[in-house]
Amino acid sequence: MENSLKGQVALVTGGTKGIGKAIADKLSSAGAEVVVTARTAPAENPNGHYFIPADLTQAEDAETIAIEILRKYGRIDIIINNAGANLSPGGGFSTLSDEHWYNDWQLNFMSVVRINKALLPAMTEQRSGVIINISTGAAKQPIWGMTMSYSSAKAALNAYSKALAGELGPKGIRVNVVSPGVVKTPLMLDFIENLAKSSNSTVEEVFQGVMDKVGVPLGRMAEPEEIAGLVAFLVSPEAKYITGTNYSVDGGAAPSV
Protein backbone atom coordinates (compact mmCIF):
# COMPACT_ATOMS: atom_id res chain seq x y z
CA MET A 1 0.00 0.00 0.00
CA GLU A 2 3.08 2.26 0.31
CA ASN A 3 2.50 5.46 -1.69
CA SER A 4 -0.72 4.06 -3.20
CA LEU A 5 -2.51 7.20 -1.93
CA LYS A 6 0.23 9.70 -2.72
CA GLY A 7 -1.17 13.10 -3.70
CA GLN A 8 -4.60 12.29 -2.25
CA VAL A 9 -6.34 14.28 0.48
CA ALA A 10 -8.29 12.29 3.08
CA LEU A 11 -10.67 13.44 5.81
CA VAL A 12 -11.15 11.16 8.84
CA THR A 13 -13.81 12.42 11.25
CA GLY A 14 -13.08 11.38 14.83
CA GLY A 15 -9.53 10.70 13.66
CA THR A 16 -7.87 11.39 17.02
CA LYS A 17 -8.75 8.19 18.91
CA GLY A 18 -9.72 4.57 18.48
CA ILE A 19 -10.70 3.34 15.03
CA GLY A 20 -10.46 6.81 13.45
CA LYS A 21 -6.89 7.31 14.64
CA ALA A 22 -5.86 3.89 13.33
CA ILE A 23 -7.44 4.73 9.94
CA ALA A 24 -5.76 8.16 9.84
CA ASP A 25 -2.35 6.59 10.59
CA LYS A 26 -2.86 3.89 7.97
CA LEU A 27 -3.86 6.38 5.24
CA SER A 28 -0.84 8.56 6.10
CA SER A 29 1.45 5.57 5.80
CA ALA A 30 -0.02 4.96 2.32
CA GLY A 31 1.03 8.51 1.36
CA ALA A 32 -2.22 10.51 1.78
CA GLU A 33 -2.42 14.00 3.27
CA VAL A 34 -4.72 13.34 6.24
CA VAL A 35 -7.11 15.78 7.90
CA VAL A 36 -8.63 14.71 11.22
CA THR A 37 -11.49 16.29 13.15
CA ALA A 38 -12.70 15.92 16.75
CA ARG A 39 -13.98 18.17 19.53
CA THR A 40 -10.63 18.01 21.35
CA ALA A 41 -7.15 18.29 19.81
CA PRO A 42 -5.08 15.12 20.31
CA ALA A 43 -2.40 15.30 23.02
CA GLU A 44 0.10 13.84 20.55
CA ASN A 45 0.13 13.95 16.76
CA PRO A 46 3.33 12.19 15.64
CA ASN A 47 2.13 11.63 12.06
CA GLY A 48 1.35 15.33 11.61
CA HIS A 49 -2.33 14.97 10.68
CA TYR A 50 -3.94 18.35 10.00
CA PHE A 51 -6.42 18.89 12.84
CA ILE A 52 -9.71 20.81 12.50
CA PRO A 53 -11.72 21.19 15.74
CA ALA A 54 -15.41 20.38 15.19
CA ASP A 55 -18.44 19.14 17.04
CA LEU A 56 -20.29 17.12 14.42
CA THR A 57 -23.58 17.37 16.26
CA GLN A 58 -23.56 21.06 15.27
CA ALA A 59 -24.82 21.50 11.70
CA GLU A 60 -22.56 24.48 10.90
CA ASP A 61 -19.34 22.55 11.73
CA ALA A 62 -19.64 20.34 8.63
CA GLU A 63 -19.56 23.45 6.43
CA THR A 64 -16.55 24.81 8.38
CA ILE A 65 -14.62 21.54 7.83
CA ALA A 66 -15.35 21.55 4.08
CA ILE A 67 -14.35 25.20 3.65
CA GLU A 68 -11.09 24.68 5.58
CA ILE A 69 -10.10 21.55 3.60
CA LEU A 70 -10.82 23.09 0.21
CA ARG A 71 -9.04 26.34 1.20
CA LYS A 72 -5.92 24.45 2.32
CA TYR A 73 -5.71 21.62 -0.24
CA GLY A 74 -8.09 22.61 -3.04
CA ARG A 75 -9.40 19.04 -3.31
CA ILE A 76 -10.80 16.06 -1.40
CA ASP A 77 -10.28 12.45 -2.47
CA ILE A 78 -11.28 10.32 0.51
CA ILE A 79 -13.94 10.88 3.18
CA ILE A 80 -14.02 8.53 6.17
CA ASN A 81 -17.12 9.29 8.23
CA ASN A 82 -16.01 7.60 11.42
CA ALA A 83 -17.09 9.79 14.38
CA GLY A 84 -19.98 8.12 16.17
CA ALA A 85 -21.09 6.64 19.46
CA ASN A 86 -24.02 5.17 21.33
CA LEU A 87 -25.04 8.24 23.35
CA SER A 88 -28.08 6.71 25.06
CA PRO A 89 -28.44 4.71 28.28
CA GLY A 90 -29.43 1.05 28.39
CA GLY A 91 -32.84 0.01 29.65
CA GLY A 92 -34.94 -0.30 26.50
CA PHE A 93 -37.52 1.79 24.67
CA SER A 94 -39.19 3.31 27.72
CA THR A 95 -35.97 4.88 29.02
CA LEU A 96 -35.27 6.70 25.74
CA SER A 97 -36.39 10.34 25.67
CA ASP A 98 -36.79 12.44 22.52
CA GLU A 99 -33.43 13.98 23.41
CA HIS A 100 -31.69 10.58 23.42
CA TRP A 101 -33.12 9.78 20.01
CA TYR A 102 -32.19 13.23 18.68
CA ASN A 103 -28.60 13.04 19.96
CA ASP A 104 -27.96 9.59 18.53
CA TRP A 105 -29.35 10.58 15.16
CA GLN A 106 -27.41 13.87 15.02
CA LEU A 107 -24.04 12.23 15.69
CA ASN A 108 -24.45 8.89 13.93
CA PHE A 109 -26.54 9.87 10.91
CA MET A 110 -27.05 13.59 10.25
CA SER A 111 -23.37 14.44 10.73
CA VAL A 112 -22.48 12.09 7.87
CA VAL A 113 -25.20 13.46 5.60
CA ARG A 114 -23.93 17.00 6.22
CA ILE A 115 -20.20 16.27 5.76
CA ASN A 116 -20.85 14.47 2.48
CA LYS A 117 -23.20 17.20 1.22
CA ALA A 118 -20.60 19.87 1.98
CA LEU A 119 -17.72 18.05 0.24
CA LEU A 120 -19.47 16.28 -2.62
CA PRO A 121 -19.57 19.27 -4.99
CA ALA A 122 -15.73 19.24 -4.98
CA MET A 123 -15.55 15.45 -5.46
CA THR A 124 -18.16 15.54 -8.21
CA GLU A 125 -16.19 18.20 -10.04
CA GLN A 126 -13.06 16.01 -9.80
CA ARG A 127 -15.14 13.03 -11.05
CA SER A 128 -13.33 10.80 -8.55
CA GLY A 129 -13.39 10.01 -4.85
CA VAL A 130 -14.18 7.41 -2.20
CA ILE A 131 -16.44 7.62 0.82
CA ILE A 132 -16.40 5.08 3.67
CA ASN A 133 -19.12 5.35 6.30
CA ILE A 134 -18.31 3.54 9.54
CA SER A 135 -21.43 1.75 10.78
CA THR A 136 -21.73 -1.14 13.25
CA GLY A 137 -22.79 -4.78 13.35
CA ALA A 138 -25.44 -3.57 15.81
CA ALA A 139 -27.25 -1.90 12.88
CA LYS A 140 -28.33 -5.35 11.66
CA GLN A 141 -28.40 -7.02 15.08
CA PRO A 142 -29.23 -4.50 17.85
CA ILE A 143 -28.06 -5.50 21.33
CA TRP A 144 -31.35 -5.96 23.19
CA GLY A 145 -32.06 -3.20 25.67
CA MET A 146 -28.81 -1.39 24.93
CA THR A 147 -28.54 0.10 21.45
CA MET A 148 -32.04 0.88 20.12
CA SER A 149 -31.57 4.51 19.01
CA TYR A 150 -27.89 4.05 18.04
CA SER A 151 -28.68 0.93 15.98
CA SER A 152 -31.59 2.71 14.27
CA ALA A 153 -29.40 5.66 13.28
CA LYS A 154 -26.65 3.36 11.95
CA ALA A 155 -29.21 1.26 10.04
CA ALA A 156 -30.35 4.49 8.38
CA LEU A 157 -26.69 5.20 7.59
CA ASN A 158 -26.45 1.84 5.80
CA ALA A 159 -29.52 2.58 3.64
CA TYR A 160 -28.33 6.14 2.94
CA SER A 161 -24.90 4.80 1.88
CA LYS A 162 -26.47 2.37 -0.60
CA ALA A 163 -28.59 5.15 -2.10
CA LEU A 164 -25.57 7.46 -2.32
CA ALA A 165 -23.47 4.75 -4.02
CA GLY A 166 -26.17 4.36 -6.68
CA GLU A 167 -26.31 8.08 -7.30
CA LEU A 168 -22.55 8.71 -7.32
CA GLY A 169 -21.30 5.66 -9.24
CA PRO A 170 -21.90 7.30 -12.62
CA LYS A 171 -19.90 10.32 -11.40
CA GLY A 172 -16.83 8.20 -10.60
CA ILE A 173 -17.30 8.22 -6.82
CA ARG A 174 -17.47 5.02 -4.73
CA VAL A 175 -19.34 4.68 -1.41
CA ASN A 176 -18.98 1.73 0.98
CA VAL A 177 -19.83 0.89 4.58
CA VAL A 178 -17.56 -0.85 7.08
CA SER A 179 -19.31 -2.39 10.08
CA PRO A 180 -17.08 -3.28 13.02
CA GLY A 181 -18.16 -5.69 15.75
CA VAL A 182 -16.56 -5.13 19.17
CA VAL A 183 -13.35 -3.09 18.98
CA LYS A 184 -10.89 -2.23 21.75
CA THR A 185 -11.13 1.58 21.68
CA PRO A 186 -11.52 4.34 24.32
CA LEU A 187 -15.27 4.31 23.54
CA MET A 188 -15.59 0.58 24.25
CA LEU A 189 -13.38 0.69 27.34
CA ASP A 190 -15.43 3.63 28.80
CA PHE A 191 -18.64 1.74 28.03
CA ILE A 192 -17.40 -1.34 29.89
CA GLU A 193 -16.15 0.68 32.89
CA ASN A 194 -19.44 2.62 33.18
CA LEU A 195 -21.49 -0.56 32.93
CA ALA A 196 -19.30 -2.17 35.62
CA LYS A 197 -19.92 0.80 37.94
CA SER A 198 -23.67 0.96 37.33
CA SER A 199 -24.18 -2.80 37.70
CA ASN A 200 -21.81 -3.28 40.68
CA SER A 201 -19.74 -5.75 38.67
CA THR A 202 -16.05 -5.96 37.88
CA VAL A 203 -14.67 -4.81 34.55
CA GLU A 204 -13.72 -8.44 33.81
CA GLU A 205 -17.29 -9.65 34.47
CA VAL A 206 -18.78 -6.97 32.22
CA PHE A 207 -16.22 -7.66 29.50
CA GLN A 208 -17.10 -11.37 29.58
CA GLY A 209 -20.82 -10.47 29.57
CA VAL A 210 -20.40 -8.32 26.44
CA MET A 211 -18.39 -11.03 24.68
CA ASP A 212 -21.01 -13.68 25.60
CA LYS A 213 -23.89 -11.45 24.49
CA VAL A 214 -22.31 -10.57 21.15
CA GLY A 215 -20.85 -14.06 20.63
CA VAL A 216 -17.51 -13.65 18.84
CA PRO A 217 -16.20 -16.89 17.30
CA LEU A 218 -12.65 -15.51 17.21
CA GLY A 219 -12.97 -15.03 20.97
CA ARG A 220 -11.61 -11.50 21.34
CA MET A 221 -12.24 -7.86 20.53
CA ALA A 222 -10.75 -6.40 17.35
CA GLU A 223 -7.80 -4.03 17.50
CA PRO A 224 -8.54 -0.67 15.79
CA GLU A 225 -5.79 -1.44 13.23
CA GLU A 226 -7.79 -4.49 12.09
CA ILE A 227 -10.62 -2.19 10.98
CA ALA A 228 -8.16 0.30 9.46
CA GLY A 229 -6.64 -2.41 7.26
CA LEU A 230 -9.94 -3.03 5.47
CA VAL A 231 -10.65 0.69 5.11
CA ALA A 232 -7.19 1.27 3.58
CA PHE A 233 -7.88 -1.49 1.04
CA LEU A 234 -11.34 -0.13 0.17
CA VAL A 235 -10.05 3.37 -0.56
CA SER A 236 -7.11 2.08 -2.62
CA PRO A 237 -7.04 1.57 -6.41
CA GLU A 238 -7.12 -2.21 -5.68
CA ALA A 239 -10.82 -1.78 -4.78
CA LYS A 240 -11.81 0.37 -7.75
CA TYR A 241 -14.76 -1.88 -8.75
CA ILE A 242 -16.19 -2.09 -5.21
CA THR A 243 -19.08 0.21 -4.32
CA GLY A 244 -22.45 0.02 -2.57
CA THR A 245 -21.39 -2.73 -0.16
CA ASN A 246 -21.29 -3.17 3.62
CA TYR A 247 -18.39 -5.18 5.05
CA SER A 248 -18.46 -6.71 8.54
CA VAL A 249 -15.21 -6.90 10.51
CA ASP A 250 -16.55 -8.67 13.58
CA GLY A 251 -14.56 -11.81 14.27
CA GLY A 252 -17.49 -13.85 12.90
CA ALA A 253 -20.11 -12.38 15.28
CA ALA A 254 -22.86 -11.69 12.70
CA PRO A 255 -25.41 -14.50 13.07
CA SER A 256 -26.18 -14.69 9.35
CA VAL A 257 -24.39 -14.14 6.04
Ligand X SMILES: NC(=O)c1ccc[n+]([C@@H]2O[C@H](COP(=O)([O-])OP(=O)(O)OC[C@H]3O[C@@H](n4cnc5c(N)ncnc54)[C@H](OP(=O)(O)O)[C@@H]3O)[C@@H](O)[C@H]2O)c1
Work out the angle between the directed axes of helices 59-73 and 111-126 (0-180°, nearest 10): 30
Identity of the residue, 61 or 77, whose beta carbon is nearer to ligand X in the bound complex: 61
Task: Please say if 150 is a catalytic residue.
Answer: yes
Least distance from C-beta 57 to ligand X, angstroms?
Answer: 5
Instruction: State in angstroms the smallest separation of the CB of 126 from ligand X.
Output: 26
Instruction: Sort 227 into a burial class: Cβ within 10 Å, 0-12 / 13-18 / 19+.
Output: buried
Residues facing 130 on adjacent strands: 78, 174
For residues 42 and 74, what is the distance between their CA atoms, to the nearest angstrom? 25
CB 172 to ligand X: min, Å? 26
Q: Which of 100, 249, 114, 81 is nearest to 180 (CA)?
A: 249
Burial of 90 from C-beta contacts in 10 A (0-12 / 13-18 / 19+): middle
Contact between 253 and 137 (Cβ < 8 Å): yes
Q: Exactly one of 150, 160, 241, 247 is catalytic; which is it?
A: 150
Q: Give the binding site for ligand X (CB under 6 A).
A: 14, 16-20, 38-40, 54-57, 82-85, 107, 134, 136, 180, 182-183, 185-188
As measured in angstroms, the least distance from the Cβ of 109 to ligand X is: 11
Whichever of 19 and 165 has its CB closer to ligand X, that residue is 19
Maximum distance among all alpha carbons in the chain?
A: 55
8 A C-beta contact, residue 135 and residue 252: no
Which residue, 32 or 56, has its beta carbon nearer to ligand X?
56
Active-site residue numbers? Answer: 150
